[in-house]
Amino acid sequence: MFLDEAVVEFVSGRGGSGAVSFHREKHVPRGGPNGADGGRGGDVILLADRNRRTLYDLRLQQRFEAKDGGHGLGNKRGKDSKNIIVKVPVGTVIINEETGQPIVDMSTHGMKFAICKGGKGGFGNQHYTSSVRQAPNFAQKGAPGERILARMELKLLADVGLIGLPNAGKSTLIARISAARPKIADYPFTTIIPNLGVARYAGDTFVVADMPGLIAGASEGVGLGHQFLKHVERTRVLVHVVEVYPVDESDPLTNYNIIESELKLYSEEIWARPRLIALSKTDTAPHEKYNEIRKSFETLGLPLFPISAVTGEGIDALLHALYEVLQEAKGEPEIPVLMPALEALDNIPFEVERTEEGFVISGRRIQRLVAMTDLENEEAVRYLHRRLDRLGVIKKLREMGAEEGDDVVIGEAVFAFTDEN
């Protein structure tokens, strides 16, 4: 079963909490704080694997969650949690389902990407000693893990893409030049999933993809539409397969123009890639009719190859032309995959919004600071207040008119505003 889309939830582990502990030893009456740190939560890591062909496994298991880090125990550091490795097919694009923003393109075998990083372990109380705080009675909670609801889209990686109307002869052609065995029949839409085959020529090999047939309106999602077109994005060379003598008596040149128009509407960059035309099923056309059609296609100025995948006519010439085009493209850079620059979220400044209920503070760094604070420990809360003051949060609230006792919301926590430490 070929599945090229899946929506999966990834959750990394929370960091373990630091320990509150004091050195206890005979004849050492004033042992200082020695609380150890918590362990790191597990990451969720994606691994591009060329042995994976579909997203079927991810449709079966739609949630991956790493374990939390261990808590610090006395002066013993908490254990780090193990990472989770999730294998995906090469060519899988990961998109944030909730924002629609691309996250990463798993375009190379062996490529790894930590889609959700585990939270770091909280500091033990030994980190909070100072000249005025000799015996801190609080520690830091572990940082929360990350959660991403991701849409996985598989875009096949192939050197050559076969395009054309349904029943144009693409499946028969790929079966002729490779070991692929797609479904072949004398009715349209026998191919509803892409087929991959490896063709050999002059001691070299290249990957050929037989794409499901297009119809008018595909660029707008009609028929298989975008399900087909997205797979064309990763091909270097396109072979437009045109049935030379259609059974429905339609005009081959008109059929060719329908597909070319849809391709251009979808992406001019893809439409501008190298193109060869294969006039297929030449063994079925009367000689005079074939000559008439061939002359009409010659006016397009593109390399033209009359072929019959059944008899083998013209197949070697087509393979030779594909080999030459791909040899020329070897020195060129990989087809670019445009990804947005991801901003370092920890460096995004906080924002304060005044609402009817009070003041709402957003900003990942501030929210994580609060999430790692033991809000039931009065000493820890006072320390948090001083941190917020140094970061300019208290000053900003004061400038926006916050008064003693006003509600301040940070993440899931609600505080009463105060200027005092």
How far, rounded to the nearest angstrom, does the alpha carbon of residue 164 sit from its chain's CA centroid?
28
Please report, in tens digits, the pLDDT of each residue of the chain (421 residues total). Answer: 446 678 999 999 999 999 998 887 776 666 688 889 999 999 999 998 877 777 878 888 899 999 999 999 988 999 999 999 999 988 888 999 998 888 888 878 888 999 999 999 999 999 888 877 888 888 999 999 999 999 988 776 678 888 888 777 788 888 888 765 544 434 343 344 567 777 888 888 888 877 765 545 434 444 443 455 666 777 888 999 998 888 788 889 998 998 888 788 877 888 888 889 999 888 888 888 888 898 999 999 999 999 888 888 899 999 999 988 888 876 555 544 444 444 444 455 788 899 888 899 988 889 889 999 999 898 999 899 988 888 889 999 988 888 888 899 998 889 998 876 5
Clarify whether residues 317 and 217 are in a common domain: yes
Residue 126 has φ and ψ, to the nearest 5°, of -65, -20
Establish whether 169 is an annotated binding residue: yes
185: domain CATH number? 3.40.50.300
Establish whether 283 is an annotated binding residue: yes
Residue 338 lies in a domain: no
Clarify whether residues 32 and 131 are in a common domain: yes
Clarify whether residues 71 and 110 are in a common domain: yes
Establish whether 282 is an annotated binding residue: yes
Establish whether 166 is an annotated binding residue: yes
Establish whether 167 is an annotated binding residue: yes
Clarify whether residues 42 and 166 are in a common domain: no
Residue 78 has φ and ψ, to the nearest 5°, of -65, 155
402: domain CATH number? 3.30.300.350
Q: What is the pLDDT of residue 326?
A: 86
Establish whether 111 is an annotated binding residue: no
Which residue is it, tokens 């008018």? 216
Establish whether 309 is an annotated binding residue: yes
Establish whether 168 is an annotated binding residue: yes
Q: Enter the pTM of the model.
A: 0.63
Establish whether 308 is an annotated binding residue: yes
The boundaries of the domain holding residue 352 are 346-416
73: domain CATH number? 2.70.210.12
Clarify whether residues 121 and 198 are in a common domain: no
Q: What is the pLDDT of residue 220?
A: 46
Clarify whether residues 42 and 131 are in a common domain: yes
Domain total of the chain: 3
CB 150 within 8 A of CB 8: yes
Establish whether 210 is an annotated binding residue: yes
Clarify whether residues 82 and 133 are in a common domain: yes
CB 272 within 8 A of CB 355: no
Establish whether 15 is an annotated binding residue: no
Where among 154, 181, 208 does a domain terminate? Answer: 154
> Using CA atoms, how far apart are residues 127 and 36, in angstroms rounded to an integer?
9
Clarify whether residues 268 and 397 are in a common domain: no
Q: Could you give the 3-state DSSP secondary structure of residue 389?
A: helix
> Using CA atoms, how far apart are residues 310 and 321, in angstroms rounded to an integer?
20
Establish whether 192 is an annotated binding residue: yes
Where among 329, 358, 378 does a domain terminate? Answer: 329
Q: Where on the phi/psi map is residue 89: left (φ > 0), alpha (ψ -120 to 50), or beta?
A: beta
- Adjacent-strand bridge partners of 22: 33
CB 15 within 8 A of CB 39: yes
Residue 341 lies in a domain: no
Q: What is the pLDDT of residue 32?
A: 81
Clarify whether residues 227 and 257 are in a common domain: yes
CB 390 within 8 A of CB 369: no
Q: What is the pLDDT of residue 214?
A: 53
Q: Indicate the pairing of strand 204-210 with strand 195-201.
A: antiparallel
Instruction: Spell out where 171-234 has E strands.
Output: 195-201, 204-210
Establish whether 307 is an annotated binding residue: no
Q: Could you give the 3-state DSSP secondary structure of residue 236?
A: strand
Clarify whether residues 294 and 244 are in a common domain: yes
Clarify whether residues 145 and 163 are in a common domain: no
Q: What is the pLDDT of residue 260?
A: 87
Token pair recorded at residue 130: 């100072």
Clarify whether residues 22 and 145 are in a common domain: yes
Establish whether 280 is an annotated binding residue: yes
How far, rounded to the nearest angstrom, does the alpha carbon of residue 306 sit from its chain's CA centroid?
40
Residue 115 lies in a domain: yes
CB 198 within 8 A of CB 207: yes
Establish whether 213 is an annotated binding residue: yes
Establish whether 190 is an annotated binding residue: yes
User: By C-alpha distance, which of 222, 217, 231 is closest to 170?
Assistant: 231
Residue 337 lies in a domain: no
Q: Which residue type occupies 286?
A: P
Q: What is the pLDDT of residue 80?
A: 95
Token pair recorded at residue 416: 């009463």
> Using CA atoms, how far apart are residues 218 and 307, in angstroms rounded to an integer?
26
Helix (H) or strand (E) holding 57: helix 56-60
